Chain A
Amino acid sequence: MSAALTLWHKHMRKSLVHPEEIIGLLLQPILWIVLFGVGMKSLMAPVMPSGSNLYITFMVPGIVALSALGGAVGGGSTWLMERVQGIVKEYLVAPIPRLSILLGNALSTVTKSLFQAIVIFIVGILMGMQVTTNPLGWLGGFLLVAGYGLGFAGIALAFASKTDSMGAYHSLIFLLNLPLLFLSNALYPLDVLPKWMQIGALLNPTSYVVDGMRQTLLVNGTALSGTSVLPLWLCFAVIAIFVCLGMWLAFSAFRSSVR
């Protein structure tokens, strides 16, 4: 475990070396909220459950999930780069558990995602989003974000363990990213979608993290999801299974790529 923390610390330290990377990571979700959110606001108003003007509030959890996805992709490319450059060999000859090597990477990815989530929520609040004051709600919401980030960090790490080409990695991940965002309830309520998309969305962990966040972090979040609201316990259960699945994928891919 202490080896994982050491690697976590190193990854965090390294990203501080590049402030432009941090600025990019924070600016991207803000642009989403401001451009997409404001632009879509009037368009979406009629399908918003209460009919009121809540689109920004509705979409912020989706943007948090999207950013966590982006963070996971970044974690995977860090891993791929370390593999290609041979830095992984330094870890592999060290007397540390193999799992801690992956864990160090995944933990730093999740840490960054949580920071991003905080910034996104601050921007959302500034734009009039109404959030809960219940500390348990915040704890639950961030747990969901962390789990979602960890699960995708695992999937990205699995991809990055299986290929030696940055181009191949990014095209694969991109292919995965689009349906994860659009085939979910992140940007529109489930009940306005055609049936086949609804089924797709229900198979997508993004829907559960987003719906879970709405219910834990927002005022009136349940109402926002309308008739298609997913039970909160189910959100937590799905994300928990997703974490295990992601980490298992990462570890088995990692095992086959190194000794």
Chain B
Amino acid sequence: MTELEQLIGDKESTKMDHQKQTSLAVESRGLVKRYSEEVLAVDGVDLSIAANTIYALLGPNGAGKTTTISILTTLLEPSGGVAKIAGFDVVRQAGEVRKRIGVTFQDVVLDNDLTGRQVLEYHGQLYGQSKQERRARTAELLALVELEDAADRRCQTYSGGMKRRIELARALMTQPEVLFLDEPTLGLDPQTRGRIWDYIRTLKDQNGLTLVLTTHYMDEAEQLADRVGIIDHGKIVVEGTPRELIDQMGADTFRIVGQGDSGHFIEQVRALPFVQTVTTGDNVIQVGVDTGSRRLVAIVSTATDNGFAIEDLSVARPSLGDVFFNYTGRQLRD
């Protein structure tokens, strides 16, 4: 480490000490994880997540979400950078961090031979909870995730949604300060997803819990999160409240697919006073405007004037998917 780097490092740690006083549940600076020469999974992630909020890391498969969560939950050591949970360093104070977090993993991690109740019991016991504590907490959580009737059946017999719910209950068993949920609704049907969302919302209202979740569903991030960090290729490309991010895009977004010379067309469109953003990629041109209904004619005539033949045009309220497209030039597909 050079002297300069050391100086910067020191400056960063004082910065982090200061932020601790403003009660950040999660903070990281320059988090890096390199699995091998070729694979740089996390490439300098900075996070500042305030207590008692829901934060969503939104990004496509392979973006580095799971790796980031694994570092924050002490499963992986970072190749570089620092991270703190509730003020405790994830490497040097891993034990303190572990006492304060609850985690659900991307894949279902359940003992199929145990009943739902036993899963919760053993988990509490592992964390040193007393018998009364465990009993009370188990009853409370089984009620929360509505699994009372299935509590004494083996997990093997559970549906995908029930497995996710018992995992959620398990993560909450020891009353964590920060709850990490890695793709909590992965592979679930829309109705079950909605129920999981309801539980997650309920949780935030209770006892000041901070939730960090990852997802590749834009609607999930939009619906649940107070703040969203959009992650791609191991970097947070943009961060903000869902409203802020979407409002940047203009009130409405045209998605245009066509043939011909798009260069001139794009140039002209960009010059139009009511146009807020223009992004191209994947053969789609995306144009954010103030009000779609009033600007449709102007856009179409600009295309015609520039010899660009529109094949498909749609207008919609922008989503986080459009924000992702705007920053990465690629579609975020479910």
Stretch at the interface among B121-129, B312-320, B325-333: B121-129
- Decide yes or no whether A22 CB sits under 8 A from chain B: no
**Which residue of A86, A95, A259 contacts B127 across the interface (Cβ within 8 Å)?**
A95
User: Within the assembled complex, what's the spacing in Å between the Cα atoms of A45 and B256?
Assistant: 93
Against A, the Cβ 8 Å flags (1 = close, 0 = not) of B98-117 are: 11010101010111011000
16 contacts between A and B (CB under 8 A): A6-B125, A7-B126, A10-B114, A13-B118, A14-B113, A14-B114, A17-B154, A85-B109, A87-B109, A89-B105, A92-B75, A93-B73, A94-B127, A95-B95, A95-B99, A259-B76
Quick check: B74 and A14 within 8 Å, CB to CB? no
Using known A-B contacts A10-B114, A10-B122, determine if residue A90 contacts B73 with beta carbons closer than 8 Å.
no
- Decide yes or no whether A133 CB sits under 8 A from chain B: no
Against A, the Cβ 8 Å flags (1 = close, 0 = not) of B38-67 are: 000000000000000000000000000000
- Decide yes or no whether A119 CB sits under 8 A from chain B: no
Using known A-B contacts A2-B128, A3-B126, A96-B126, determine if residue A86 contacts B74 with beta carbons closer than 8 Å.
no
Q: In whole Å, how far is B89's beta carbon from the nearest beta carbon of chain A? A: 14
By Cβ-Cβ distance, the 5 closest A-B pairs, closest first, are A95-B98, A86-B109, A17-B113, A6-B125, A95-B99
User: Within the assembled complex, what's the spacing in Å between the Cα atoms of A10 and B126?
Assistant: 10
Against B, the Cβ 8 Å flags (1 = close, 0 = not) of A10-41 are: 10011001100000000000000000000000
Residues of B within 8 A of A (CB): 73-77, 95, 98-99, 101, 103, 105, 107, 109-111, 113-114, 118, 122-123, 125-128, 154, 170
Q: Which residues of A contact B107 (CB under 8 A)?
A: 86
Name the residue on B nearest A17 (C-beta): B113
Q: Which residues of B contact A18 (CB under 8 A)?
A: 113
Quick check: A259 and B109 within 8 Å, CB to CB? no
Quick check: A93 and B75 within 8 Å, CB to CB? yes
Q: In whole Å, how far is B311's beta carbon from the nearest beta carbon of chain A? A: 46
- Decide yes or no whether A91 CB sits under 8 A from chain B: yes
Q: Which residues of A contact B154 (CB under 8 A)?
A: 17
Name the residue on B nearest A7 (C-beta): B126
Q: Which residues of B contact A2 (CB under 8 A)?
A: 128
User: Within the assembled complex, what's the spacing in Å between the Cα atoms of A87 and B112?
Assistant: 10
